[in-house]
Structure 1
Amino acid sequence: MWVRKLLAQKSFHLPWLSYRSGGGNPVGSAPFDVRPSVPCPRGQGGATVVIAGLVWLASLAGVIASDGISIELIDHQDLSATAIGFGGQYKVGHWTPVRLRLKTGAAACRGHIVLKTHDSDGQSVEFVQQEEVSLAANEERSVVGYIRFGSLESQLSVGFQTDQDRVTRVYQRVSDLATARRSTDPLVVVLGGELPPVTTPIQAGPTKLSYAAVAAAEMPDRWHGYEAVDTLILLTGQLSAFDGVTQPQWSALDRWVQLGGRLVLSVGRNGAAVFDSQHPLARFNPGQFVGVRQQAETAELESIFASSEQLSAFDMTAIRNPQGVVEVSIARGNEQQAFWVRFARGMGQVDLIAADLGLSPWTSWSGRISLMPRLIDGLSAGRPRKGLDMRVEKLAHVGYRDIVGQLRGAMDQFENVRIFPFGLVAALITLYALLIGPGDFFMLRRWLALRMQWTWLTFPLLAILFCLLAIGLSRYRDQGQVVVNKVEIIDVDTQSGRVRGTTWAQLYSPRQAQYDLSLTPSGRLTTDENAEVLMCWQGLPGDGLGGLGSPSTNRLTGKAYEVSFRSGGQLRGLSVPVASSKSLSVRWSAKVSAGSESQLVADRRHFLRGEIQNPLNVDLVDAVVLYQNSSYMIDGVLRSGQVVSLNQLSHKDLRWKLQQRVVVSNRDVSTQWDPEDVRPGHVPRILELMMFYGAAGGESYVDLTHRYQSYVDLSAALRTGRAILLGRCHESLSDLSDQQKLLSADANAHWTYVRVLFPVEMQQP
């Protein structure tokens, strides 16, 4: 009998043992729960030790005698790749690749990789990977999973889920395995070699521009694995560095660029091999390959990049008739050769440097101090603004320093949800305390002249009265309805026939409930049944409560919800507390038939001429055409298929429009931007600056960064030979559902903006 009591009340501390749990509900590789036990009868302590040993041996035998599958992060001593992120670095709040090693025993098995951590709100979340993994007996294989960490001090659980059970291993501190970086820190990744760091002398003080050098094995095989990368630099001086890169990895790289990524391609002595039609990098050739030449005339480069040091001769790839914009050209005899070409690919940008930046003489030339920051788009060497650091520090109290945080603050207010001020709540609590204390005493003894025994009746009556008041106020607050605020930006590239969607949703739940959420693009926009949808929680880029930069996050108990890649991007079992909201973000892409009859030509002054057509099946209001530094307003509603002649439209300076400048006393004055304004009516203005952040003046005007989800900014497309038709749509172009029930119909508010990218031809002289 005492043995049964002992086994019922005690368990044993096995913190190091990877475990197997049945039914797909793992206990964890943390210690088993140890609870106080009744004292053992005298003389039975030895029996306790024996039983503990038997249980330990049985547990160990269970692991060894099972299928024998094990899962762990790849060894940190493996020089071919790092386990997490890029070059041992990752950014919180972004999709991050995690590299794992699987090993089976005597039996074959099949299942899914499951990665578990906490989101920025402290809720447990599981990321169930898309593809099923099949392993033969005694097989060892490396696989890659994708996860989004919610804090700088995250925990990671890696598991292999079969139909019957799950094998799991827990890593308590991810920061011990890789360097955690803030969500808005710049991350520049170099593939194919290494670049020496550059110290840039700017007004605020010297800034070190460093890079994360990675091996080819670290290239993700899914495009969203690059989400944390601000700029990817490919060095082709040593082509052997790309040996072993698979076709899915090349496809993921190209897909990331087309969906808004930034790629820098350095091609010098190996230009013939790189731009051969059979090489995977040939897709990034902006023109016609001519040959590789020795460039000895370097005086122009020394002047452009402000270097007093002479640049030695180098191998240069010659390109004829490049598309896009030639940022820098140098003379070779009587010809001008393109040295730096910037061109658009899809909704992304590619910069071609016709030299090997990873080889001599470039690695030691002092002109790199000017070249590299300009090439990486000024991430660490932007134009210094006087007083900017002081203004950013003043924003610390609002909890964010990125414009995405301002959007979230505006979306987290619901028109049909009434917020009771703290003063009212405090007054009711004070009134309740006064009534049940001195109020009850004076009412019974002084006013009603009753005995104090009546307090057994008056006290519960007062308690019930205030409970009913609280219930009534709660129902008055939100009418018991689920409310959704939704923002979506739809981008259509008419050249590639691809559409991408970015959706932010703020879901308010009046009661404690679980939701199974999914998002489906509207059939009016695309009929592609293979649309890829990525739904996940949305972080707050900042140091405030619940922010991604917060040093600590309160980890909540409860069952983890699931981010599934297998079923078209869903959140399953998402628990939202009573009278609380949850921030969500969705990225999706698909094919679209956006054939257009638009014919746009730009003259030497970069003014547009020709006709533009709305190629979508939706009408657009407040439509405007943007190109270079000009904007062309279209009056009224732009109907589906309607063609408008730009020759009849007046143009306005784009920065004037974005900064809402007006003329006062013969001086143009811009409307000051308030980064603390989170009124719901301010959402359209916030979105306008997010969509064209660089064209509006960037940080110098907004006083906030735009690095968390910077792919939304298409300012670069305006400078690479693209015109953009921007318009607002009255109807939502995606459906947010909970267990197949549409939530969009109950949405408190939604804002839908559409941007259509058109190619522009330059007028021949």
Structure 2
Amino acid sequence: MPTAATIGRILAVAFTFLLIPAPAGAKDSVKITGASVGLPTGRDDAHVTKFGAWAPVHVQLETLREVTEPAELVIESPDADEVTTTFAVPLNLATDRTAIGYVRPGGAASEVTITVRAVKGGALSEPFRVRVRPREPLQYVVLALGGTPAGFELPKPAGAGAETPPLRAGRVELTHIASVAQLPDRWYGYEGADLAVLNTGTAPDFLKQLFGDDSPAPNKQKREALIEWVRRGGRLVISAGSNAALAAQLPALKSLLPFAVKPDAPTRQVDIAGLVWSAGSGQANTASAALTGRGTRFAMANLVPQPDRTARVLIPPPSQSTEERQPIVAQAAFGLGRVTVIGFDLDRAPFAEFSARPDFWDFVLRECGANRASSGGDGKPRPPGVVTEEEDSATVAMRAHNDTFDGVPVVSFGWVALLIVLYILLIGPVEYYVLKRFLGRLELTWITFPIIVLTVSVLTYVSASAVKGRDLKINKIDVVDVDAPSNRIYGTTWFTIFSPRIDSYTVGVTPGSGWGTDEQPKGTAVECIGAPRSGRAGITRRKYAVEPTGLENVPIQIWSTKAFSANWSSPLDIPVSQAPTGQTHRRLEANLVHPPGDRAKVLGSFEHNLPLPELTECVAFYAGQAYPLPGEVIVRGAPVRLVLDQGTPATQWLQKNAGLDALLARDPAYAQRPVQKNVQRQPLQQTALGGPLPLMGMLFHEGALKNDEGVIAGNASLRRLDQSWRLAPDNRDEVIVVGRVAPPLGSAEDVLTGPNAPAKLWLKGLPSSGERRPVPGTARQETWVRFYIPVK
């Protein structure tokens, strides 16, 4: 038996070993010293993220010892279904001390975990966790780039006191990026911003670093990300006054400007500038004020039209424009986006002392961003730090529409509750009564109880299989914008997968045959969508990876659905070498002109050579008027003659045919139609909920809203697709033609790769693999196309 002294020596040795530090492990190779998620506000390191919108993640690193193996930064966060997503960014630990990745918050409170890992090994750092509280999608976020906006404030509501209230009761929020290093390097990093304002007055270095020809490659990548975000529907304001000469010397910036800065005389010095701007939705409502330097002259840019670019002059208004009055504010489309140039600085004097500054900022938000959305929504106050889980109605309607599958009935909660009660009665009182009354041996419950559970489980599975089916089902919607001036096609895809078994799906989206010139277009974003949840990862630790060309191994439970969205783009014109034999390489041919001396009318014709056999229920929009096309059908390769002289006011037509009640109204005849093996074209019938073009309520959302008090915009997550601003009466340089393809329903592979499917779906392999496996099951495809046709 060991003595007390022996035991003491043993304990001493063990304690000594405990105090000896362990050898440095792999996790001690790199230290994450800091991280931020979202757009910075400049207030106590606060950042803004939005639910369902990508947000940049900036990470600071410190290398503790040399790492020779390839490494990557891994960002993990739960999605809306509480499944962990992983986003990986390659790292060069020999040189990188900062890194930028992206995350898409999936709930009202999300925890983002950041780790440095070896590409083919374990962790190289300890996990770094950041807690984020995303804003709701209805929040209107203004992002200032470069100089700090001078006195950003909005008109106070009636009855407000002298204290400074939150902007629009907390619905509008200002963020600011002053350093090029903090800019996102991918276009979807700006997804949380509703309006970006590039200030050049106090930040010439920012302008040179971002748009200079000699900028380093990382800065050029950030520049292309900003430009691509605008192309895909972003809203950008550029203020150029004192540094207008610098702006005129930067070709990359010049391509964005609606009006060019006069090269030989970029600025003029003035004592006072009279500003008249629109003060509301009505054209007759205007506000005016004098911008004065108070005894000192200030610089204003000399803006001149670009020969190859059509633009509208907002200040002075068209009614006051003369040859002597030079344009001060001009606006033009840039792809699906909207770019506005202001000929004076918004980040320095004299605008800093402008008496009507709040009203002018209100004009900037309305006329350069989104009119209804920037007005403050429903007016309900949003105290700082309080986050709700409100969603916009358009997103909810889109998801609900795609989540309804033909032949898959939804069992009501009442039936489920009734079956649960019957099951409890069966394994409880009924079993006890039978064993005691008829068999007289209660101990037999060790045999009968498992038999009952097994039998009920088998019957439940068989019944569910009979009701839900054993086929994979996919509902898919494509909206395609064909923009002739920018020579680009922009595609937005939503699809929902109904899985008949527990499975993992690798999901990718590429342009369909004949829609794109590149099988793997750069900048394609694929993401899971859903209603906001708790923002915590599930206990099963399921994960899927966000890859540059799609999502890898997304888990879907048996008889469950998962919703996705994708955004892609491709050149419009096909190179002659890639054009099919016997077909033209021009996808859109147009010859639209104004009659001599009458810019209010349009004559001419156009034709498209896209793979769509037929577009139905077509309507044209021009100068604030709607023109349903005769026959409402457009056939591929057949000229369409337009005579636009007497139309219906566009807002009136939209409110009647595409109001909120009509948004995504489903065809009630779908449920009664059996699924056929071959693709069948099924026209969408007019429903009691609305007119024949229900998706118009999303494509021109604000134009379809009534002017009644309390009617707010409900398209926060889909705002970039809203082209209502192009329906202005003074926009006489383009015609917008919209049509739809009658939804085909049938074999998934036939439907999703046929001529009516602009986007090709990959389910068991990413596009980067180059091998696409046929999609099993059945599918429903809905396609909408918008043509933006210039008028000569």
After superposition, what is the alpha-carbon deviation per residue over 1:438-493, rounded to whole angstroms, capped at 9, x for unaligned? 444655777x6877677677655544442332122211222122222212211121
Moved more, 596-605 or 424-433: 596-605
1:632 equivalenced with 2:627 (yes/no): yes
How far residue 525 of structure 1 moved from its aligned partner, in angstroms, is: 1.0
Between the aligned partners of 1:557 and 1:223, the Cα distance in structure 2 is 33
Q: CA deviation at 1:735?
A: 2.3
Match of 1:328 in 2: 315
Matching residue within 241, 247, 258 for 2:231: 258
Q: Residue 80 of structure 2 corresponds to which residue in structure 1? A: 120
Write out per-residue CA displacement over residues 520-549 of structure 1, whole angstroms, 9 at most, x where no aligned residue. 220121132341354443344xxxxx41xx
- The structural deviation recorded for 1:42 is 9.4
State the TM-score, normalizing by the size of structure 1.
0.79
Q: Which residue of 2 aligns with 1:269?
A: 242
Structure 1 Cα separation of the partners of residues 452 and 563 of structure 2: 38
Q: Is the 8 A contact 1:116 1:157 kept in 2?
A: yes
Q: Partners in 2 of 1:639 and 1:230 — Cα distance?
A: 37
Amino acid in structure 2 at the alignment position of 1:722: E
User: Conserved in 1, the CA contact under 8 Å of 2:137 and 2:392?
Assistant: no
Indicate if the aligned counterparts of 1:75 and 1:83 stay in contact, CA closer than 8 A.
Answer: no
Report the residue type matching 1:335 in the other structure: E
Matched, 1:368 2:357: yes
Residue 562 of structure 2 corresponds to 582
Q: Distance between the aligned counterparts of 1:86 and 1:744, measured in 2?
A: 47
Q: Which residue of 2 aligns with 1:316?
A: 300
Pick closer, same or farther for the CA change 1:308–1:520 going to 2, 3 Å: closer
| Aligned alpha-carbon RMSD (Å) | 4.0
Q: Retained in 1: the 8 A contact 2:740–2:783?
A: yes
Closer/same/farther in 2, CA of residues 389 and 192 from structure 1, 3 Å limit: closer
Report matched runs for 1:356-755 at 5 Å: 356-377=345-366, 382=372, 400-440=391-431, 462-532=452-522, 534-540=524-530, 546-547=531-532, 553=536, 555-565=538-548, 569-593=549-573, 594-602=586-594, 606-619=600-613, 620-634=615-629, 635-647=631-643, 651-660=647-656, 673=661, 687-697=695-705, 703-719=712-728, 720=731, 721-730=733-742, 731-740=756-765, 746-755=777-786
Residue of structure 2 aligned with 1:349, choices 329, 338, 348: 338
* Worse overlay, 424-433 or 197-206: 197-206
Match in the other structure for 1:339: 328
CA distance in 1, matches of 2:197, 2:189: 16
Q: Secondary structure at the match of 1:263?
A: strand
Q: Is residue 402–residue 708 contact of structure 1 (8 Å, CA) maintained in 2?
A: no
Residue in structure 2 matched with residue 159 of structure 1 by the alignment: 116
1:102-137 alpha-carbon deviations (Å, 9 max, x no partner): 4544454433332111112211110123xx44444x
Q: 1:597 deviation in Å?
A: 2.6
Q: Distance in 1 between matches of 2:173 and 2:388?
A: 30
Q: For residue 233 of structure 1, what is the aligned residue in structure 2?
A: 197
Query: Conserved in 1, the CA contact under 8 Å of 2:662 and 2:694?
Result: no
Q: Secondary structure of the residue that 1:480 maps to in structure 2?
A: coil
| Residue deviations 1:243-271 (CA, integer Å, cap 9, x gap) | 43322222222111111111101011222
Matches within 5 A, 1:53-72: 53-54=19-20, 56-58=21-23, 60=24, 68-72=29-33
Change (3 A) 1:467 1:115: closer
* Cα offset, 1:52, TM superposition: 4.0
Q: Which residue matches 2:679?
A: none
Aligned mates of 1:536, 1:83 — CA distance in 2 = 31
SS of the residue corresponding to residue 702 of structure 2 reads coil
The alpha carbon displacement at 1:288 in A equals 4.6
- State the 1:431 CA deviation: 2.8
d(CA) in 2 for partners of 1:480, 1:207: 53
2:214 aligned partner: none
Q: 137, 144, 148: which one pairs with 1:194?
A: 148
Please identify, of 586-595 and 646-655, the stretch whose mean Cα deviation from structure 2 is larger: 646-655
CA contact under 8 A between 2:85 and 2:543: conserved in structure 1?
Answer: yes
Map of 1:92 onto structure 2: 51
Deviation at 1:734, TM superposition (A): 1.8
Question: Partners in 1 of 2:257 and 2:140 — Cα distance?
Answer: 27
1:111 aligns with 2:71: yes
Out of 282, 294, 310, the position equivalent to 2:269 is 294
Q: Give the superposition deviation at 1:691.
A: 0.9
Instruction: Find the counterpart in structure 2 of residue 34 from structure 1.
Output: none
- Say yes or no: does 1:285 pair with 2:257: yes
Greater shift after overlay, 284-293 or 360-369? 284-293
- The share of aligned pairs that are identical, in percent, is 24
Give a deviation string over 1:668-721, Cα, whole Å, max 9, x none: xx9772889889878986532111112212785965522223111122334453
After superposition, the Cα gap between the structure-2 partners of 1:485 and 1:204, relative to the gap in structure 1 and judged at 3 Å, is farther
- What is the CA distance between 1:374 and its match in structure 2? 1.7
CA distance in structure 2 between the aligned counterparts of 1:725 and 1:608, rounded to whole angstroms: 13
Shift of 1:338: 0.6
C-alpha distance in 1, partners of 2:505/2:127? 27
In the alignment, what sits opposite 2:673?
A: none
| 5+ residue gaps, structure 1 | 1-40, 541-545, 662-669
Deviation string, structure 1 residues 418-446 (Cα, Å, up to 9, x no partner):
22222222323333333444444655777
**How many angstroms does 1:579 deviate by?**
2.5
The runs of 5 or more residues in structure 2 that have no matched partner are 1-6, 211-218, 280-285, 574-585, 671-688, 743-755, 766-771
User: Tell me, what secondary structure is at the counterpart of 1:419?
Assistant: coil
Count of aligned pairs: 683
Counterpart residue type for residue 403 of structure 2 = D
Evaluate the alpha carbon distance shift between residue 435 and residue 73 of structure 1 in structure 2; reply closer, same or farther with a 3 A threshold: closer
Letter in 2 for 1:259: R
SS at match of 2:704: coil
- Residue 508 (structure 1) shift: 1.9
User: Is 1:221–2:208 an aligned residue pair?
Assistant: no
- Of 89, 98, 103, the residue aligned with 1:147 is 103
The 3-state SS of whatever aligns with 1:655 is: helix
- Work out the CA distance in 2 between the residues paired with 1:471 and 1:117: 33
Q: CA deviation at 1:370?
A: 1.4
Please give the secondary structure, in 2, of the residue aligned with 1:503. strand
Partner of 2:748: none
Taking the aligned partners of 1:497 and 1:646, their CA distance within structure 2 comes to 22
Name the amino acid aligned to 1:242.
Answer: L
Distance 1:85 1:507, change over 3 A: farther
Q: 1:420 to 1:285 in 2, by over 3 A?
A: closer
What is the alpha-carbon distance in structure 2 between the residues aligned to residue 362 and residue 255 of structure 1?
30
CA contact (8 A) 1:302 1:310 kept: no
Deviation (angstroms), 1:146: 2.0
- 1:584 CA displacement: 1.3
Question: Shift of the alpha carbon at 1:231?
Answer: 0.9
TM-score by length of 2: 0.76
| Contact 1:207-1:380 at 8 Å conserved across structures | no
The AA in structure 2 aligned to 1:315 is A
Contact 1:84-1:98 within 8 A present in 2 as well: no
Alpha-carbon shift at residue 349 of structure 1 (Å): 0.8
Alpha-carbon distance in structure 1 between the residues aligned to 2:696 and 2:278: 38
